[in-house]
Chain A
Amino acid sequence: MTSAGVPGGGAVEVPAVVEAVGVGKVFGAGSTAVTAIESVDLSIRQGEFISLIGPSGCGKSTLLRLIGDLTHPTSGTLAINGKPAARARSDRDYGMVFQAPVLMDWRTIAKNIELPLEIMGFPPDERRRRATELLKLVELEGFADRHPWQLSGGMQQRVAIARALSFDPKLLLMDEPFGALDEMTRERMNAELMSIWRRTGTTIVFVTHSIPEAVFLSTRVVVMSARPGRISQVIDIDLPAERSVETRESERYFRLVTRVREALRQFEPTDEGPEVTEAERVRAEGLA
């Protein structure tokens, strides 16, 4: 696989995977109507890793669901790979990963990964071949015939990622996939997702509450503000393409973490901000 395009170095013409112009979403109607998001403009290029971050209620999950055609915009236009979202969905352009793994408890791990392939009518040998390959990718080779309850939360989430990647979707949509994991597991999963992204070159849109996670993973961080939800700032993450433990300790990383935090604070003056570990805060502020 080709390595992912580095953002900011954009002399090469890359087609937009997501093109949102003036997208808005209002739930309900009349006096009880709630504006979830308003006039969102966003263009995501092929191979990018985009994080959506913002306070609760800023509509980041709604935006992700709009992109994935799980709900429909009430205003604006949205094109995925140059076509309407509904068309992109029926073309199976999306891989989805939620906060919960949502595995089918009656299927073994391998069969869970094969589920989308079965639905899409892949031949049995091809399904088995891909499942084996993906189990290797997420480092769960020995677990093919286990059932979901036999795996830990982090392992189950890795299965969910493998399942989403099984049919080579053009766009991977992840809604707080590591939100339910402990900090240690989360960092390990971040590193793992990073290496998967680099190997597959899939475009990823990633919703998160965690600033360090967003900075570590992304090529761009989209900061959103609440009531009504809109994009307040887009921050380019110009970290080296190769990211590792050292990246998390680099000065550049801390400066970017601080920038994202300040962008969030600007629009959310209350102390109800996204959670960051105490250690991260102390280190980041010491260097800023």
Chain B
Amino acid sequence: MTTASGFLRRGSAPATAAAPRTGRSRTRRWIGIAIVLFALVLVWEAAKWIGGDPWRLHGTVAGVQVDYEHVPPLDWRIASDLSLPHVWDIVRAFVDPAQRGGAPLGVVLAGQAAFTFGEALAGFALGSLLGLALGVAFVHSRLAERALVPYVVASQTVPILAIAPLVVVALKADWLSVMAVAMYLTFFPVTIASMRGLRAFDPRSLELFRSYAATRRQVLWQLRLPTSVPYLFSGFRVAAAASVIGAIIGEQTAGVAAGLGSAIINYNQYYTSGPERLWATVVMCTLVGFVFVGGVNLAERILTRGRYRPVEGLL
């Protein structure tokens, strides 16, 4: 043999794969979220301190007689107890019974949130499938893209409030129409993201596939779809948030009583007698969104494990 192999010393192994995100930076992220939440509460209460309604603390606290009255120097309507209830009132609303002698509002809301989440998830799943199918069709057919994309865009300029009643009348079945409305808001971001992602491959890799005499289907499954994953997940994140909105609007139009949509209508009607209950419902809606988007993020992390060089200190 040649002395060639003498040259061929294997390079030293690169550092073992680090976890894409270290435990420490994850902790740091949660601390960041907590700090922002705390700052938000602080600003909220500061506004009320300066321009809110007067309040009085009267009674015994730990055996000490307390009698304090706070009269804010200014009078801002936006900081009144009706517009911005005290944070502790909102927190307490979760614990107080929703109806006289009933379960705490938090428990009721959680049940409604689970129901809405189910609808949103179903709408998201079907909408994403539809969105991806459209994306696949559009990147494979210029004709389909030119003819249909304008209508896809147009579909999203029509207010969902105008579409929802049509869907409800057409489908009748309550649960189904709610899901359809969620789906209507979901497919669009996925279509846009997939059109981008399915074209994002390196042109040289397409030449490589050509040299293997790969079929269009193989190019789709082995090149286009894997390349599109990060793009798709950007679309999924938007779609996940939109599907919750879609489900809530769908519930309200269809008159489905079991979800957060009806809770919003309900506490809207009794806002003056208990604004903190509507606020508690709003908090619950955002929690549903967080859980949903968090789930999407988790799925992405699992699906792309090991694929990228971990980026240190950028998050």
Pick from A28-36, A145-153, A231-239, A254-262 the stretch touching chain B.
A145-153
CB neighbours of A119 from chain B (8 A) = 209, 212-214, 218, 222
Q: Pick the contact of A98: B3, B204, B222 (CB < 8 A).
A: B204
Are A89's CB and B210's CB within 8 A? yes
CB neighbours of B208 from chain A (8 A) = 96, 98, 102
Pick from A50-58, A189-197, A200-208, A270-278 the stretch touching chain B.
A189-197
Give the distance in Å from the alpha carbon of A107 to the alpha carbon of B225 in the complex: 13
Give the distance in Å from the alpha carbon of A242 to the alpha carbon of B223 in the complex: 40
CB neighbours of A188 from chain B (8 A) = 7-8
Within 8 A of B (CB), among A86-128: 89-92, 94-96, 98, 100, 102, 104-108, 115-116, 118-120
**Total contacting residues, chain A, CB less than 8 A:** 49
Give the distance in Å from the alpha carbon of A194 to the alpha carbon of B4 in the complex: 8
Supply 17 further A-B pairs (C-beta < 8 A) apart from A141-B10, A142-B10, A188-B8: A70-B207, A89-B210, A90-B213, A98-B208, A102-B204, A108-B306, A119-B212, A119-B222, A146-B17, A149-B309, A152-B14, A155-B11, A195-B1, A195-B4, A242-B2, A243-B4, A244-B2
Contact-residue bracket for chain B: 20 to 34
By a beta-carbon cutoff of 8 Å, the part of chain B in contact with chain A is 1-5, 7-8, 10-11, 13-14, 17, 202, 204-205, 207-214, 218, 222-223, 226, 229, 304, 306-309
**Which single residue of chain B is at the shortest CB-CB distance from A196?**
B4
Binary flags per residue of A151-195, CB closer than 8 Å to B gives 1, else 0: 110110000000000010000000000000000000110011011
Tell me the minimal C-beta distance from B15 to chain A in angstroms. 8
Report if A245 contacts B (CB, 8 A): yes
Contacts A191-B7, A242-B2 known; A147 to B17 CB distance under 8 Å?
A: yes
By a beta-carbon cutoff of 8 Å, the part of chain A in contact with chain B is 68-70, 89-92, 94-96, 98, 100, 102, 104-108, 115-116, 118-120, 139-143, 146-147, 149-152, 154-155, 167, 187-188, 191-192, 194-195, 198, 242-246
Are A150's CB and B3's CB within 8 A? no
Are A106's CB and B8's CB within 8 A? no
Are B213's CB and A92's CB within 8 A? yes
Give the distance in Å from the alpha carbon of A104 to the alpha carbon of B308 in the complex: 11
CB neighbours of A155 from chain B (8 A) = 11
Q: Pick the contact of A147: B205, B210, B307 (CB < 8 A).
A: B307
Most buried by A among B7, B205, B210: B7
Give the distance in Å from the alpha carbon of A92 to the alpha carbon of B306 in the complex: 31
Give the distance in Å from the alpha carbon of A151 to the alpha carbon of B229 in the complex: 22
**Which single residue of chain A is at the shortest CB-CB distance from B306?**
A147
CB neighbours of A167 from chain B (8 A) = 212
Give the distance in Å from the alpha carbon of A283 to the alpha carbon of B211 in the complex: 41
